[in-house]
Amino acid sequence: MVIAKKYLYQFIYQIVILLLLAIPQLVTGQNISLKASSQSQVDVGEQFQIVYELNAEGSGFKNPDFGGLRVLTGPMSSTSSSVQIINGQVSKSFTQSYTYIVVASQAGTISVSPASVIVNGKQYISNKLSIIVQVANQSNATQGSSGSKSGTTTVNSSNDKDVYLRAITDKKNIIQGEQIIVTYRIYTRVPISGVNVSKLSAFTGFWMKNLLDENAPLKQTTERINGDEYVVADIRKVALFPQQSGKLTIEPMELECIAQLQTTSEKKRSRDPFESFFNDPFFNRNVQNVQKRLVSEALQITVNPLPVSGQTVDFKGAVGQFGLQSAIDRTNVKSNEAVNISFTITGTGNLELIDFPRPVFPPDFEVYEPKTSSQIKTTASGIAGSRKFEYLFIPRVHGDFKIPAVDFTYFDPNKKAYVSLHSDDFALHVEKGTNDESKDAVYAAGQEGIRYLGSDIHHIKTGNLYITKKGDFFFGSTMYLLTIFFAFVFFGLAIYFTKKQDKLNANQSLVRYRKATKIARNRLKAAFSLMKQKTQNEFYNEMSQALWGYIADKFMISRADLSIDSVKNALVEKETPEELVEQFVETLNKCEYARFAPGDAGKKMEELYQLGIEVITKAERLIK
């Protein structure tokens, strides 16, 4: 009995395996097609969808020409599959769709050209679309076409709690010049895509500094609000410094996104248990994209004026928490030698708006305009760093001098008081230099200035001087004649090479052949850079252009006729080894399918890049 059960289980297992192996054979026999569908009539300004459906698994989808339509988002790809077993007959269907959301901006008839896709190395082209665009309220909206005969499809309604945008500030009552942080944060509990900022906030009365890298990916977290879990991301974060007092308003920010809402099908009950099984919500992945416009709230900020009490004459508007350091590169020099003195302000606050007080130098120092350098760090908590003010001066007379300390005053919002910082004062001893022209200049401590006893007439210039003989001219000389001769020679050579190049350029096929390797090399360099930046779509596009472009130029194939078959025929005509032909075809196929294949993206890009270099190098060596 046990042995009989064992053989029965093995028989059932084999039947299931054979059934699963037979399903792909059933699918293979179907007619592959790419079908485009859309509304036939729309209003000006109405947003609608253009959908391309492929009943097979394809790659290398090429966008159509949308004519006068503006693409808001897309293509958004999705797949669906179903299996039916009726009266012992097994059938399977697979659909891959590409969806665009577009809008028409003017009335008329718009023609959308066909799109194309590659399936098993063969290109399939969709049908054209003709869309009539009318002025609003002149035509009825086209009803959705996704319903079925056996039931209706209902889109789950969206409300303001599904996805919304907030403007958050850390302070609302501040002092003029004090830093505040404003964060624009999006909350969503449904999948969203195509986030696009349509209107930035206006910060009237504020100086603004962006705190987030716009090219960096958004950092997502989760947060539970009123029992619902939201995905949260900071869209924008800025540091603001009010430049005036009073009631200031930060206007709302607006953005648009596509929210994916799940649809549910209301169908009649079926007695088929398999149909009920595959209509289970676990397998129901149908979604509909809904355009959402999100607007943050306006913020009211109360800015109080800086207090007058305690404000000194050296206050220049610095608000925050700061420190001051000063330094001089040397204190013992000779006259006419340069000296550097620097003042560095560090801390948090309106660093980039600080105006540092100018030091007081002795009257006979030649002082240059200060050099200002900043090391500002923008973090999520605000702006911090340092600003350095460097003065270069040259003492023209000898003696003992003193550079007095500089007073720097700022307002500390935490202490609600003014704070004064003092730099060091520096004593400078200047000795008489070898080129000191102030022979009788005397400096004594306590004097109001310098008393000059000598003259201010400069010395006569001495040393080697360049003197030419009177009556000696370049015109008519031997050098002049040689210059004229070589000029004619170079001119003749230029004409010769120009005509030769024009003759070569007339043969466009030859030009393409010669430039094929150079163009492919440049594209491979660009692909290498994109691989290091880990931008997958751009990398695969650049590799595809490098390979297809190299083949088109090297074998004089029109780009409109490029296909796997044409490449094979061209390589065979060149008597290319069969191994290289297969490697070329394999590389082209991998370039098309790699972006959709599972696995480590970085490793896939590196393998494809090395394979592309190898196949082009072999082609250059073998194809003559």
List, for residues 34-44, the tens digit of each pLDDT value.
889 988 888 88
Max Cα-Cα span within the chain: 132
Cα–Cα distances (Å) from 152 to 11, 19, 53, 157, 277, in that order, read 42, 32, 20, 15, 19
Give 506: exposed, middle or buried? Use CB within 10 Å, 0-12, 13-18, 19+.
Answer: exposed
Q: What Å distances lie between residue 263 and 266, 270, 286, 287, 405, CA to CA?
A: 10, 20, 6, 5, 74
Three-state secondary structure along 454-502?
Answer: CCCCCCCCCCCCCCCCCCCCCCCCHHHHHHHHHHHHHHHHHHHHHHHHH
The residues near 141 (Cβ < 8 Å, ≥ 6 apart) are: 42, 43, 46
- pLDDT band, very low/low/confident/very high, at 25 (cuts 50, 70, 90): very low
Helices (H), 574-622: 578-593, 601-622
Instruction: Tell me how far apart the alpha carbons of residues 127 and 509 are, in angstroms, rounded to a whole number.
Output: 34
DSSP code at position 54: E
Secondary structure of 333-400 in the HEC alphabet? EECCCCEEEEEEEEEEECHHHCCCCCCCCCCCEEECCCEEEEEEEEECCEEEEEEEEEEEEEECCCEE
Q: Per mean pLDDT, which range of 111-115, 302-306, 603-607, 620-624 is the poorest?
A: 620-624
- In this structure, whether the domain defined by 309-446 belongs to CATH 2.60.40.10 is answered with yes
Q: In angstroms, rounded to a whole number, what is the distance separating the alpha carbons of residues 30 and 46?
A: 37
- Dist CA 615 CA 539 (whole Å): 18
When pLDDT is cut at 50, 70 and 90, the band that residue 136 belongs to is low
Q: Which of 82-96, 333-347, 356-370 has the lowest mean pLDDT?
A: 82-96
Q: How is residue 393 written in tokens?
A: 């001066």
Domain 508-622 has CATH 3.40.50: no
pLDDT at 444 exceeding the cut of 80: no
Are 218 and 233 spatial neighbours (Cβ–Cβ below 8 Å)? yes
pLDDT of residue 7: 53
Which string of DSSP letters, residue by residue, matches 136-174?
A: TTSSPPPPP---BTTEEEEEPP--TTTEEEEEEES-SEE
Tell whether the model's pLDDT for residue 150 goes beyond 50.
no
For residue 415, pLDDT beyond 80 = yes
Token representation of residue 514: 């010669």
With H, G, I as helix, E, B as strand and everything else as coil, classify residue 282.
coil
Can you read off the two tokens belonging to residue 46?
């109405």
pLDDT value, residue 140: 42
* Mean pLDDT value across residues 427-439: 74
Confidence category of residue 443, pLDDT binned at 50, 70, 90: very low
C-alpha span between 54 and 78 (Å, rounded): 11
Does position 440 have pLDDT exceeding 50, yes or no? Answer: no
pLDDT band, very low/low/confident/very high, at 95 (cuts 50, 70, 90): confident
Considering the chain, what is the average pLDDT of its residues?
77
- In the predicted model, is pLDDT for residue 153 greater than 60? no
Cα gap 513→537, rounded to integer Å = 28
Q: What is the structure's pLDDT at 77?
A: 74
User: What value, to the nearest 5°, has the Cα angle with vertex 237 and ends 233 and 239?
Assistant: 160
Please report the pLDDT score of residue 384 as a whole number.
87
Torsion from C-alpha of 224, 229, 233, 236, nearest 10 degrees: -60
Angle made by CA atoms 528, 529, 532, in degrees to the nearest 5: 90
Supply the pLDDT for residue 427. 92
Tokens of 435: 């080129």
Residues 389 and 374: their CA atoms lie apart, in Å, by: 9
How far, in Å, CA of 57 to CA of 597, rounded? 12
Q: 């009943």: which residue's tokens?
A: 55
- With a CB cutoff of 8 Å and minimum separation 6, the contacts of 509 are 556
The Cα–Cα gap between 484 and 512 comes to 39
Residue closest to 413 by CA, chosen among 346, 369, 348, 333: 348
Q: Evaluate whether 394 touches 339 at the Cβ level (below 8 Å).
A: yes
The domain defined by 31-145 carries CATH number 2.60.40.10: yes
**Torsion, CA 262, CA 267, CA 272, CA 274, rounded to 10:** -10
Q: Read off the pLDDT of each residue in 603-608 and give the average, rounded to a whole number.
A: 79
Beta-bridged to residue 110, according to DSSP, are 131
Which residues have a Cβ under 8 Å from the Cβ of 78 and sit 6 or more positions away?
A: 96, 97, 99, 285, 287
How far apart, in Å, do the first and last CA atoms of the chain sit?
Answer: 74
Task: Report cis status (omega within 30 of 0) of the bond before 64.
Answer: no
Question: In this predicted structure, what is the pLDDT of residue 152?
Answer: 46
What's the CA gap between 98 and 596, in Å, rounded?
Answer: 14
The token pair at 522 is: 């440049």
The count of C-alpha atoms lying within 13 angstroms of the C-alpha of 126, restricted to the half-sphere facing its C-beta, is 26
Count of other CB atoms within 10 angstroms of residue 261: 16
Listed residue (604, 600, 580) closest to 591, CA to CA: 604
Q: Exposed, middle or buried, 245 (CB in 10 Å: 0-12/13-18/19+)? A: middle
Task: Check pLDDT > 70 for residue 435.
Answer: no
For residues 320 and 352, what is the distance between their CA atoms, to the nearest angstrom? 12
DSSP 280: S
Whether 269 shows a pLDDT value over 60: the answer reads: no
Q: Are 391 and 437 in contact (CB under 8 A)?
A: no
